[in-house]
Amino acid sequence: MATDRETRGVGTSVPADPDWLTLGQAAKYLGVAQSTIRKWSDGGRLTAFYTPGGHRRFRRGDLDAFVGSSRGAGRTRPLVLIVDDDADLRELLRTNLESEGYLVREAASAQEGLEALDEEPPDLILLDVMMPHVDGWEMLRRVRERHGVEAIPVVMFSGKIAEDEAAAAEEAGAQAFIGKPFDPEQLLASTKQLLRA
């Protein structure tokens, strides 16, 4: 007799097979955080199967179907590049954006951000102002040199919440400026608005 879990399409055991991935493997396969995979599966957006011990397993085919053609040049979901030297903040942003369906790439420095930009231009850049070596202002200048002023929207962040910072960001070619700490809902609203535009 089928259990309630099985009748919902969630099996109680998973065969040892290379097509089945653990939570960590699935997160790595999709290039997202494990917490994002959990949110997607808990919310019913991504099918998860459970071992008798309660561990999640994912079919590689289900993961491929979930992302569809979102990888590379044929991607259908917007790509957001987060450039910030604070790993905790990057994780917070990534989790919130991925749960809304965005693809996310992280860079811990301006140099990493510029390299990521050369590999695949994103649809939006979230850029911290205060970073060691090359700061956000210099990265913004280089982005504008390489891609033009209107090509890629940029949202800048700073611990300084001064009117002159916001004005300087706009003058330098950023579409928005948000002071830290910020409300993730405000960030998501700004991100969606810019990506729609």
Radius of gyration, alpha carbons of the chain: 19
pLDDT at 81: 93
Confidence of residue 197 (pLDDT cuts 50, 70, 90): low
**pLDDT at residue 128 is higher than 70:** yes
pLDDT mean across residues, the chain: 76
Q: Among candidates 89, 63, 91, 94, which has minimal Cα distance to 79? A: 94
Structural domains in the chain plus CATH codes: 4-67 (1.10.1660.10), 72-196 (3.40.50.2300)
Cα 74 versus chain centre, distance: 17
Q: Three-class SS of residue 136?
A: helix
pLDDT tens digits for range 100-112 = 888 899 999 989 9
User: What pLDDT is attached to residue 164?
Assistant: 67
User: What's the rounded Cα separation, in Å, for the pair 11 and 47?
Assistant: 10
Q: Which residue has the higher pLDDT, 71 or 166?
A: 166
pLDDT of 118 above 90: no
Contacts 24+ apart (CB under 8 A), 48-53: 48/10, 49/10, 49/11, 49/14, 49/20, 50/5, 50/10, 50/11, 50/12, 50/14, 51/12, 51/13, 51/14, 52/12, 52/13
Whether the predicted pLDDT of 191 surpasses 50: yes
Global confidence as pTM? 0.61
Least confident of 94-98, 130-134, 161-165: 161-165
For the segment 3-47, what is each residue's pLDDT rounded down to a tens digit? 333 333 444 444 456 688 999 888 888 777 788 788 778 877 788
What pLDDT score does 108 carry? Answer: 92
- Tally: H helices and E strands in the chain: 9, 8
Helix or strand or coil: residue 80?
strand
pLDDT per position as a tens digit, 165-189: 666 667 777 777 777 777 777 777 8
